[in-house]
Structure 1
Amino acid sequence: MKRTLRSTLVVGAAAALVFGGLTACSSDDDDATTASGPTTTLPDNPATGEPIKIGFIAPEGGAVSLPSVREGGEAAAQYLNENGGGIGGHKIELVVCKQHEEPATATQCANEMVENKVAAVVTPLGAQGAVMLPIIAGAGIPYVAQAPVSQAEMVNPDAFMLSGGIVSVLAAQAATAAKDGVKKLTVLIGDTGDAAASVRALGQPMFAQAGVELNVVVIPSATADPTPQITAGLGDNPGAVTILGDSRQCIQGLKAMQTAAPDVQKYLIASCLDKPVIDAVGAEAVTGAKAFTTVNLTSDDESVVLYRSIMAKYAADTDPQGLGYLGYQVVMAIGEVGSALPGNGVGPEQMKAALRGAKDVPVPAAPGLTFTCNGQAMPQLPSLCSKAMLVSTVASDLKFTDTQVVNN
């Protein structure tokens, strides 16, 4: 494991898998308060304590611009301030900076956080962690993200990852394949950077330990129609297939499978269950698939009902089934650990102590998942606060059913 980690911690594929919690969109015909499900009345518990500055770095304004991530985080902060008792009674002063998914603006945002003397930085989504984390952690400020992308985010003692990203996805798929009696699983992945080599190096030991053969099929990203390559890659009749990539690659892969292997079991990550993919391939292409996520927005669990209620009140124009949950989860997670904070004088050291003391804290809007930030979820990667995933079956109405927590 240690040998493979040296080559895989640069994991290019993790940039795609940072979306690893997105769910499929639920039906617009639901007879409920919102299109996505029931909501509830929010509590009346305003925060009154001394404000704490929390930095929020969002991927917005550049080639990759996802304002819904910021909107989800801002909604969570408003809820905590006006309804949820803040962070241990303290109000949240959210210091927002938008980075354009390139080093210059990422560096600028990291420096702004240091200059603003924030108590913690949350960065729910993005591939610039290797740029930002050294600056933020170098100033002694804790860095909280939904999933790691870079090596630094996996091993820095001042980084706290709510989920394990690609590490958790592959481990959960290996465990699920073994449970399902699958003897051979094929990964379809693009040829960008070292993603395929990284997935092969990290995944093969995991799958071998589970008694499953892993076959990584590389699909040229420049190919307009990769059906012939995918068909050839499925020629050895795998028991299950997963696609690790963005929405475009998911569409290509799912369409090819409809022709080459219509009955094969599909193991799908978030990007393959996004609305543009469903619109392109049809619901039947994913019905019966196993979904590997870190959220379940089609659930009526009280934590998900709360999420929908907060979004309906404080981000009414943001799709609650989109990526807004990423910003929501990281801000709400800070609120969850706030009970360990002192009554005053809260700074980075107090926030780090509260985070390191977090034990079995429920992941917001992810019923069944918890995080513990003592560095033991996976000791080789001490920044991971969890390696668990939610594994569900995608029903014909695109809702998740038979959800299980996999923590291998």
Structure 2
Amino acid sequence: MQESIVSRRRATARRFPRRSAGMLLAAPMALLLFAAACGSDDDSGSPTVDPSAAANALGPVDRAAGAPVKIGIISDGRGAAVDNSVQFDIAAATAKWLNEHHGGIGGRPIELVTCETQGDPGKGTDCGNEMVEQDVVAVAVGESGVGDAVAQPLADADVPVMFYGLTTPALLNDPTTFTVSDPNFAIQQLPIAIARQENLKKVTSVVIDVPALLYNVEELAPRLMREAGLEYQLIRVPPGTADMTAQLQGAAGGDAGIVFVVGNDSFCISAFNGLRAVGYTGKISAISQCITDATRKAVSGDVLKGMSVAASMPLGGDDPSTILYNAVLETYGQGIDATSSAARGMFVTFAGLATALEGITGDITPATVTAAIKAMPEKELPGAGGLKFRCNGKASPDSSAVCVRGGLTTTLDGAGQSTAFEVLGSSPIPD
């Protein structure tokens, strides 16, 4: 496999202008929504896979041959706030697996063209432009804080791009943009599904008050809750609020239904402890970023026990998707942390793109790749814990780019650790 590493901005003029940094205010929240799957912050290490299980998971040998097909890989890589450079390592390992066991793309070997944004919107736009200039046929992007900046030049050039997650409404309706996570699951569909399971009539959302969330919690959530027959209450709390008892007094009377918390871990710690302080004893749920080692230390185990939490992916366990992922890491990777959510997200996205292109024939161009992605039948999403995907524009009535319905959830034990992972909110995507 040939590999072209493109991680610097060129001095030549760009085909598309940079987007203002002011347009990327949603970036920190986008990262928050696609965060770790509730494992301990101290988890680390490489997988140990039974050789026969690994061989079965990897599939029969089917080596690619002929002229390579250029696939772009864009990651924030290593920046001031985050280090996702492992995404390049997992992309290389995934390409080797695909080239040896899945005939690459259309029988031809995958050649990676990579670009690092460093979490900077300008560099994100540069990376999108770079992929156009390098004539890639498609691009895969894992979790990114500058996804909008990456997506726009690719959308303008009609180069298909598969994201792990994207939240901007306009891009979620672009005809060559696709995402392998449900943008409505973590904040809307999860509390709706839990309320139905628990036979509750109301969802009370306690949400960190940042602009990036306003569309989700003030426009989208009320409609979805109403359609689900649920009463909806929104409690917006400014970031950095240490004592939330005043805001949460309304939850003490027992009519809150399920309380759903959205924020980073320090925000969620204040919310969980505030709910306990006002005497709330009902059901609590949260997004995955709420649960870190800091949360486990600061919040009582009896509050965490039984809490339902959104999970981006099933880190750990022995489900078939994890066996496959670990087999790829052990066979083709070197020193890749099996518990890294950033690595797993890139694997899901890149392997999902390749799965969508199974059976493609003839000329492989951005146009034929887009057509193949849209024509694919519903399939299991590799590495995603049993989630299925289909990119025909019908997974979400509001967002044609969405390829997945529902997501994963886990229930915490008394130590605040995840137990089993469950697919929730999923249903077949129609023709």
- Say yes or no: TM over 0.5: yes
* Counterpart contact for 1:71–1:318, Cα < 8 Å: no
> Is residue 53 from structure 1 mapped to residue 67 from structure 2 by the alignment?
no
Inter-partner Cα distance in structure 2 for 1:380 and 1:165: 11
State which of 124, 146, 165 in structure 2 corresponds to 1:128.
146
> Is residue 406 from structure 1 mapped to residue 402 from structure 2 by the alignment?
no
Structure 2 stretches of 5 or more lacking a match? 1-23
Inter-partner Cα distance in structure 2 for 1:263 and 1:407: 29
Q: Identify which range, 271-280 or 344-353, moves more after superposition.
A: 271-280
AA aligned opposite 1:405: L
Matching residue of 1:189: 207
Summarize the alignment of residues 353-392 of structure 1 with structure 2, pairs less than 5 Å apart: 353-392=371-410
AA aligned opposite 2:213: A
**Superposition RMSD on alpha carbons, in Å?**
3.2
Matching residue of 2:126: 108
TM-score normalized by the length of structure 2? 0.81
Q: Which has the higher contact order (CA 8 A, sep 6+)?
A: 1
Inter-partner Cα distance in structure 2 for 1:299 and 1:169: 25
Inter-partner Cα distance in structure 2 for 1:53 and 1:94: 6
Summarize the alignment of residues 137-216 of structure 1 with structure 2, pairs less than 5 Å apart: 137-166=155-184, 169-193=187-211, 195-196=213-214, 198-216=216-234
State which of 18, 23, 30 in structure 1 corresponds to 2:37.
23
AA aligned opposite 1:107: T
* Residue 114 of structure 1, CA deviation: 0.8
Inter-partner Cα distance in structure 1 for 2:303 and 2:345: 26
User: Quick one: structure 1 residues 110 and 29, their matched pair in 2 at CA, closer, same or farther if it must change by over 3 Å?
Assistant: closer
Structure 1 stretches of 5 or more lacking a match? 1-9
Inter-partner Cα distance in structure 1 for 2:47 and 2:419: 18
Matching residue of 2:18: none
Matching residue of 2:342: 323
- Equivalenced residue count is 395
Inter-partner Cα distance in structure 1 for 2:314 and 2:388: 14
Inter-partner Cα distance in structure 1 for 2:253 and 2:85: 43
Inter-partner Cα distance in structure 2 for 1:153 and 1:279: 39
| Equivalent position SS for 1:48 | coil
> Is residue 64 from structure 1 mapped to residue 81 from structure 2 by the alignment?
yes
* Residue 115 of structure 1, CA deviation: 0.9
Matching residue of 2:20: none
State which of 336, 356, 360 in structure 2 corresponds to 1:341.
360
| Equivalent position SS for 1:323 | helix
Inter-partner Cα distance in structure 2 for 1:60 and 1:226: 36
Q: Deviations over 1:213-241 (max 9, x none)?
A: 22111111133x13334533533432322
* Residue 194 of structure 1, CA deviation: 5.0
Q: Identify which range, 173-182 or 275-284, moves more after superposition.
A: 275-284
Q: Identify which range, 228-237 or 199-208, moves more after superposition.
A: 228-237
Q: Identify which range, 319-328 or 257-266, moves more after superposition.
A: 257-266
Matching residue of 1:222: 240
Inter-partner Cα distance in structure 2 for 1:209 and 1:121: 36
User: Quick one: structure 1 residues 28 and 189, their matched pair in 2 at CA, closer, same or farther if it must change by over 3 Å?
Assistant: closer
